A and B are shown apart, each in its own frame.
Chain A
Amino acid sequence: MLSFIGRSVVQKIITLFFVSIVSFLIIHIAPGKPSQVDPMNPKFTPEVVERFRKEFHLDKPLHVQYLYFYKDLFTGETVSWKDNQSVLKKIWERFLNSLPLFIVGTIITWTLSFPIGIRSAIFRGQFYDRSATFLSYLLISIPGFFFAYVLIIFVVNQFHVPVIGMETFGIGDGASLPHIFMDRIWHLLLPSVLGATGGIAVLSRYVRSQMLEVEGQDYIRTARAKGLSPEQVHYRHALRNALLPFVTMFGLILPGLIGGSVIIESIFSWPGMGRMAYEAILARDYPVILTVNFVSAILVLAGTFISDLLYLIVDPRIRL
């Protein structure tokens, strides 16, 4: 066990190192320079551009820039080129904004996909299964922004309530606490449902196939033969065993914490991670892009690590 942990930590760190190199190279070798050194603005003389380059260490060779950047990152001193704010602070702020979206989205995904998937497996090939399949694929087949627009126009025109932003604009003055809270929930509804559609479709299909696989096993046949009620068979014997792989998936949702969807966040004016990263890409704000990338890589690696670990704990057959 300990040796497994040690080995995979070392492995993950090496991977992380390579990720940092690759992302650094992608960004620095690609054409386009930070907008602060944009010579298209008549106000930027070549001297100013040169000074900016110096300030950002852009005049140094790549490997030196790499060291500079990661030294700053690990000492927490990285600042965004756009507004000189600490990148970690910015990411933390955005993270807090994205967090509710992520939590509600995840809860919706996980609570809905299980009943849907299980019932589809029980009624395999019947009308319920077919319509569930069709509906879940319908939802992931709509281009996200098209769906979002249609939903927004529908809700706004039918119910005359705001849907964009994190809360109704200006509600802070004078509203009671439950009002504010419920208002937030309402604003979470559409974007998180939109974000969850893909997850529901994929996860419910996965639940269905896991259930089917388990239902085909001999011990289920035995349970049936024993005369147990179908409900007991499905929910007690089959479900428990089918759940095994999903325990490990808890680790894999971790990266979702930082990968907010750019499209949904811009349509819903949600000041989240995705939008910040997107704007950073457009402005070539290298510190922000690289830090977001680095943090998300850490989360991905941590996620796989946790899921390996959970697997190890949950499934006694595996001994590494």
Chain B
Amino acid sequence: MNIDEKGFNQDFQFEAPMAPKRTRLQEFWLLFRQNRLAILGLFIFILFFCCAIMGLFITSGPDPLFDPAMIRLQEKLRPPLAKPNLDSLRREEIPCLGFYLMGTDDLGRDVFARMLQGAWVSLTVGFVAVGISVLIGIFMGGVAGYFGQHHIRVDHILMTILLISGAGLVMAHSIRFGAVLLCLTLAYIFYSFFTQNRSGEKSVPSWAKVFRKSAVSVDTLIMRIVDIMLCFPSFFLILTVVALLPASIYNIMIVIGLTSWMGTTRFVRAEFLSLREQDFVAAVKTLGASNFRIIFRHMMPNAIAPVLVSATIGIATAILTEAGLSFLGFGVPPPHATWGNILSDGKNFIFDAPWLTFIPGIAILIVVLSFNLFGEGLRDVLNPKLRERH
């Protein structure tokens, strides 16, 4: 026993100072490469990305190569690979490939051009929505995890409530009262800044001490906000907001983003809570690094893994959510084509023109699947607990 232990220790000491043979990225890639499904996902993902970029260039501008908005009513519902009827078309209406690669839709628009344009729009919706949710998630989670033990004073809460209700009143058209509330609140905030700088808390009368009491910790507050958000069924919430707001591509992105940040927040908070106690953070702190530097230079890279995974899968979910909203008539409105609204427009013609349903349907399936598989692969690789022990 003793010898064993000693030997182990020696081994350990012997090996420790050696620099790692491979960088973190290399090691990561080696592991990732073993997961063939994830590689496939990555490959399709890159392909999709290229298509989307290409689609952006050849379907937009004043005189695009493929015009997704060009209407040729006499050429409606032509099957894929059909040759156009050249007699009935004007010169600029002839598709540039010489045939309709993916057929035409119910208004005679080229489905291929629309799919190309839709690739970019769907991609943007996915990325921006997830971007918003990740940014909010990291911010909230970071604050909760790092500054969690700080407390918020009663007067702060009161001020916030006043501020929000003031803004609410302004929005609910009772502008005068709302503006008064807002001004009062701002005035108080300035006042408290000044007093704090000059005299500290000495001059506060005793009755006002109640307001200076600590009420809740930042962590509790943020986690309660997360709880509140989680109380709304997410698709239902998106639907409510999208139905109530004017439909536009930006609203859809923002709404999807604003309703899906809670998971990220929880991940980041949990990671931060555990990282904060680790030695390297304490070391950096003693070196006198600013909070900002600690968070972004030292803690964030270690906490980012689960966020990346959930973001990848989040993009897939956002694309599907957009398709679901399109089905109900609340998706991205025209003239933007997305795969979701091509699909939901096409479903009316499923017996007359099945390609209008199947092309976008299968395209969505493949892309979403690739994102999911890629995300799953990432999760496998990034989670050290799940690494196979050799």
Q: Is the CB of B386 within 8 A of A213?
A: yes
Give the chain A neighbours of B323 by CB distance below 8 A. 143, 145-146
Give the chain A neighbours of B340 by CB distance below 8 A. 143
State the CA gap A212–B389 with chains docked (Å): 11
Q: Is the CB of B239 within 8 A of A281?
A: yes
Q: Who on chain A is nearest to B171 by CB?
A: A29
Stretch of B86-94, B110-118, B227-235 lying at the A interface: B227-235
Q: Is the CB of A15 within 8 A of B231?
A: yes
Q: Is the CB of A19 within 8 A of B232?
A: yes
Q: Does B12 contact A (CB under 8 A)?
A: no
Q: Is the CB of A300 within 8 A of B231?
A: yes
Q: Does B373 contact A (CB under 8 A)?
A: yes
Give the chain B neighbours of A296 by CB distance below 8 A. 231-233, 236
State the CA gap A275–B389 with chains docked (Å): 49
Give the chain B neighbours of A258 by CB distance below 8 A. 233
Q: Who on chain B is nearest to A16 by CB?
A: B231
Give the chain B neighbours of A134 by CB distance below 8 A. 37, 373
Q: Is the CB of B228 within 8 A of A19?
A: yes
* B41 nearest CB across to chain A (Å): 9
State the CA gap A138–B370 with chains docked (Å): 9
Q: Does B281 contact A (CB under 8 A)?
A: no
* B86 nearest CB across to chain A (Å): 34
State the CA gap A142–B319 with chains docked (Å): 11
Contact with A along B223-248 (1 / 0, CB 8 A): 01001101111011001110111100
Q: Is the CB of A146 within 8 A of B231?
A: no
Secondary structure dominating the interface of A: helix
Give the chain A neighbours of B350 by CB distance below 8 A. 149, 153
Give the chain B neighbours of A125 by CB distance below 8 A. 34, 388
State the CA gap A98–B366 with chains docked (Å): 31
Q: Is the CB of B241 within 8 A of A30?
A: yes
Give the chain A neighbours of B239 by CB distance below 8 A. 262, 278, 281
Contact-residue size bin, chain A (C-beta under 8 Å from the other chain): 35 or more
State the CA gap A213–B368 with chains docked (Å): 27
* B372 nearest CB across to chain A (Å): 4
Q: Is the CB of B244 within 8 A of A146?
A: no
Q: Is the CB of B372 within 8 A of A141?
A: yes
Q: Is the CB of A62 within 8 A of B172?
A: yes
Q: Does A282 contact B (CB under 8 A)?
A: yes
Q: Does A86 contact B (CB under 8 A)?
A: no
State the CA gap A204–B337 with chains docked (Å): 35
Q: Who on chain B is nearest to A298 by CB?
A: B231
Q: Does A144 contact B (CB under 8 A)?
A: yes
Q: Does A56 contact B (CB under 8 A)?
A: no
Q: Does B200 contact A (CB under 8 A)?
A: no
Q: Does B310 contact A (CB under 8 A)?
A: no
Q: Is the CB of A216 within 8 A of B324?
A: no
Q: Does A90 contact B (CB under 8 A)?
A: no
Interface centre among B171, B245, B323 (most CB of A within 10 A): B323
Q: Does B299 contact A (CB under 8 A)?
A: no
Known contacts: A144-B324, A263-B328. The answer to whether A213 contacts B243 by CB under 8 A is no
Give the chain A neighbours of B368 by CB distance below 8 A. 141-142
Q: Does B361 contact A (CB under 8 A)?
A: yes
Q: Who on chain B is nearest to A277 by CB?
A: B236
Give the chain B neighbours of A53 by CB distance below 8 A. none
Known contacts: A25-B168, A209-B386. The answer to whether A15 contacts B365 by CB under 8 A is no
Residue count of chain B within 8 Å CB distance of chain A: 49
Q: Is the CB of B231 within 8 A of A216?
A: no
Interface centre among A25, A125, A141 (most CB of B within 10 A): A141
Known contacts: A14-B224, A130-B36. The answer to whether A143 contacts B320 by CB under 8 A is yes
Q: Does A22 contact B (CB under 8 A)?
A: yes
Q: Is the CB of A145 within 8 A of B344?
A: yes
Q: Does B347 contact A (CB under 8 A)?
A: yes
State the CA gap A282–B239 with chains docked (Å): 10
State the CA gap A175–B361 with chains docked (Å): 40
Q: Does A297 contact B (CB under 8 A)?
A: yes
State the CA gap A262–B234 with chains docked (Å): 12
Within 8 A of B (CB), among A242-286: 255, 258-259, 261-263, 274, 277-278, 281-282
**Which listed residue, A16, A18, A26, A61, touches B241 by the CB 8 Å rule?**
A26
Q: Who on chain B is nearest to A31 by CB?
A: B244
Give the chain A neighbours of B227 by CB distance below 8 A. 15, 301, 304
Q: Is the CB of B376 within 8 A of A11?
A: no
Within 8 A of A (CB), among B242-265: 243-246
**Which listed residue, B224, B233, B240, touches A255 by the CB 8 Å rule?**
B233
Q: Does A27 contact B (CB under 8 A)?
A: yes
Known contacts: A25-B168, A138-B365, A212-B386. The answer to whether A30 contacts B245 by CB under 8 A is yes
State the CA gap A15–B368 with chains docked (Å): 35
Within 8 A of B (CB), among A115-162: 124-125, 130, 133-134, 137-138, 140-146, 149-150, 153
State the CA gap A213–B327 with chains docked (Å): 40
| Residues on A facing B (Cβ under 8 Å) | 11, 14-16, 18-19, 22-23, 25-32, 61-62, 124-125, 130, 133-134, 137-138, 140-146, 149-150, 153, 205, 209, 212-213, 216, 255, 258-259, 261-263, 274, 277-278, 281-282, 289, 292-293, 296-297, 300-301, 304
Q: A142-B368, A262-B328 are in contact. List 9 more A-B contacts (CB 8 A).
A: A26-B241, A32-B244, A138-B365, A141-B369, A145-B347, A209-B383, A212-B385, A259-B236, A293-B236
18 cross-chain CB contacts under 8 A: A26-B244, A28-B172, A62-B168, A130-B37, A133-B373, A138-B369, A140-B372, A141-B316, A141-B365, A144-B320, A145-B344, A145-B347, A205-B376, A212-B386, A259-B235, A278-B328, A296-B236, A300-B230
3 A-B pairs with the lowest CB-CB distances in the bound complex, closest first: A30-B244, A297-B231, A141-B368
